[in-house]
Amino acid sequence: MAYWLMKSEPDEVSIDDLEARHTVPWFGVRNYQARNFMRDAMQLGDRAFFYHSGCAEPGIAGICEICSPAHPDETQFDAASPYFDPKSSPEKPRWLCVDVKFVRKTQLLTLAEMRGFAELSQMQTLQRGNRLSITPVSPAEWDFILERLK
């Protein structure tokens, strides 16, 4: 099993939305490295921290599980979507997504709190200049964070 951190803006899809809907496609990823994580590395059953970003208090708000293999992100074909990509077609999709299912909500572990732990100093999402919406999490980082979320 691999571990991930997946960022979502809560006004678009929050941990509460995921809990209510049970499963959502992780749509709107428009970065090739993040897309490749979904395509090449994510497996069914992998776990991820559900991270609220682009909000007043960013941080980990819950846990989700990868529940589908990568498949075309339908928003790339919708001209009315902010994620529309005119260079993509159903025959040659550029963008993929995976479906995630709700595991549990957690207390919010804020970005500021995460930055305060020496044990997380190498965590990819905390590195200067990192803007990826999906990043791998090491087993040691996963276990350390889980202990703080109990």
CATH label of the domain that carries residue 61: 3.10.590.10
CA–CA dist 65, 63 (Å, integer): 7
User: Per DSSP, what are the bridge partners of residue 62?
Assistant: 50, 105
What is the chain's pLDDT, residue by residue, as a tens digit (150 residues)? 999 999 999 999 999 999 999 999 999 999 999 999 999 999 999 999 999 999 999 999 999 999 999 999 999 999 999 999 999 999 999 999 999 999 999 999 999 999 999 999 999 999 998 889 999 999 999 999 999 997
Spatial contact of 5 and 125, defined as CB atoms under 8 Å apart: yes
Domain range for 8: 3-148
* Tens-place pLDDT, residues 31-40: 999 999 999 9
- How many domains does the chain contain in total? 1
Tell me how far the alpha carbon of residue 23 is from its chain's centroid.
13
